Amino acid sequence: MLLKTACVCVRAPRLQQRAFSCGVAMAKSKFEYVRNFETDDTCLKNCYIVVRLDGRNFHKFSEQHGFLKPNDKRALGLMARSAESVMDNMEDVCVAYGQSDEFSFVFKRSTNLFKRRASKLMTHVTSQFSSSFVFYWAEYFTEQPLLYPPSFDGRVVLYPSNRNLRDYLSWRQADCHINNLYNTVFWALVQKGGLSTSQAEERLRGTVAGDKNEMLFSEFNINYNSEPQQYRKGTTLIWNMAEEVVTKKVKPANENEKEVHVTRTRRKIAAHHCDIIGEQFWEEHSGVLESD
């Protein structure tokens, strides 16, 4: 009996090795042809790759989590913080722009991250952003627990030139202005004017920007141009070179350990709430985009 037990103990590792070898062989088996069903989604070279995320069912999400109307600074701050997490994780993102429940991430034209596969880039950005949104939630919503996980959908679009890309970003900022102006007037009518949401919608039907600005000023003494830039212009994130002073402990020969201050330069993400449709921003930050 002792001999049989010893024999089993010796053979067990060989059985495990045989099973492992069989598994390796399966990877090169006749079934491997199924990989041919995968589509080639490599993004065209020399194009900016833009991954845009949008919150899914965020109207319901914002209501159930008590977002302030028309703008919630906590929510906008959390969106920007989640976007910074994406940029920290994927340094080939040269600029990101966000407003409301959306954020666009622009990968530089020369990137070869994930071999430029659209599905890899989109899923990585979406998962990193979503998990960061949940992770940092309590820092911004200190008194409101997260009731259920938020979700974001993503899409990938290519832009071949700086002009095309800037027009895309201008489109998103123009959308920010249009939506924010409408929401500012709408919620003023509801919160200060005592109208129901359906009455406010009817009141605004057919109005243009000038009408809305006049309504805000004459009825509620609100100058729309004095509203925070973050609400009117959105958030633009770019990389900047910044100097910082750090303290290090050193121990010179035959001396006691002491602290010294060292200045170093490093890349840091900078947030801007300004116009990106005109030329000034791009002239001041000429290194953001690659030359055509």
Query: How does the average pLDDT of the chain come out, rounded?
Result: 90
Determine the pLDDT at residue 176: 98
Task: State whether CATH 3.30.559.10 applies to domain 48-235.
Answer: no
pLDDT value at position 27? Answer: 59
pLDDT at site 109: 96
Would you say 167 is a known binding-site residue? Answer: no
Q: Does 18 have pLDDT greater than 80?
A: no
Write out the chain in H/E/C secondary structure.
CHHHHHHHHHHHHHHHHHHHHHHHHHHCCHHHHHHHHCCCCECCCCCEEEEEEEECCHHHHHHHCCCCCCCCHHHHHHHHHHHHHHHHHCCCEEEEEEECCEEEEEECCCCCHHHHEHHHHHHHHHHHHHHHHHHCHHHHCCCCCCCCCCCEEEEEEEECCHHHHHHHHHHHHHHHHHHHHHHHHHHHHHHCCCCCHHHHHHHHCCCCHHHHHHHHHHHHCCCHHHCCHHHHHCEEEEEEEEEEEEEEEECCCCCCCEEEEEEEEEEEEEEECCCCCCCHHHHHCCCCCCCC
Tell me: is residue 100 an annotated ligand-binding position. yes
72 is in an annotated binding site: no
Q: Does the annotation flag 65 for ligand binding?
A: no
Q: Is 92 annotated as a binding residue?
A: no
Range 124-128 average pLDDT: 97
pLDDT at 98: 98
The answer to whether 177 is annotated as binding is: no
Tell me if 55 is assigned to a ligand binding site: yes
pLDDT for position 20 = 46
